[in-house]
Amino acid sequence: MEKVIKAGATFVQLREKSISRKEFIVEAQEIRKLTERYNVPFVINDDIDVALASNADGVHVGQSDMNAKDVRGLIGDDKILGVSVQTVEQAINAKENGADYIGVGAVFSTSTKLDADIVTLDTVKKICKSVSIPVVVIGGINKDSILLLKGSGIDGVAVISAIFAQSDFKKATIEMRSLAEEVCRDKNSY
């Protein structure tokens, strides 16, 4: 994780589905130390208790998790709240209920979340136009697919295997950051 942060990762989300709560908290606390040292925002996926126990900057929840308004009430106004969405209606609802950013996806097929439905590029564009908070896309994004998002209006990309499935994490992070900056810099051209 430190290599990835030092190479230019601008935000870290920890997602764990197969470890104990105790292990999850310990891992989150260790990553929190790194993100604090490098001043990188850090959120926990789907687990408010782990987010609070690790003093993470916030939490990211999905549509099948707790309502964004309820999550906001539990974490307070000073924590980051991210919400996964797949439709314009969900995006507007997330923003109205306290989300600081939304995650849209999957935009391409992904091996990380096999049951993820694909969100079309047209829907991504409509979501970007419908909300005033940052829109981050996820799902199957890699060095070959990222440029297909140019002109969509997105504010960022979330990746896993594009970095962590590569033999050189540092090189992969530098390359993905450069491509993401190119795609997001062009956000107003649609």
The domains found in the chain, sorted by start residue, are 2-182 (3.20.20.70)
Active site residue 111: no
CA distance 105 to 118: 6
Low-confidence residues in the chain, pLDDT < 70: 110-116, 186-190
pLDDT in tens, 37-70: 999 999 999 999 999 999 999 999 999 988 999 9
Give the model's pLDDT for residue 109. 81
Between the CA of residue 175 and those of 23, 110, 117, what are the distances in Å? 31, 19, 27
Active site residue 15: yes
Between the CA of residue 181 and those of 8, 56, 125, 129, 150, what are the distances in Å? 11, 25, 17, 19, 10
Give the model's pLDDT for residue 20. 95
Candidates 54, 84, 95, 152; catalytic one: 84
Cross-strand partners of 136: 103, 156
Q: Which amino acid is present at 151? A: G
Candidates 3, 113, 126, 150; catalytic one: 113
Q: Who contacts 116 (Cβ-Cβ below 8 Å, separation ≥6)? A: 105, 106, 109, 110, 139
Give the model's pLDDT for residue 111. 66
Give the model's pLDDT for residue 185. 78
Give the model's pLDDT for residue 189. 42
φ and ψ at residue 140, rounded to 5 degrees: 70, 15
Give the model's pLDDT for residue 65. 86
Active site residue 84: yes
CA distance 28 to 49: 11
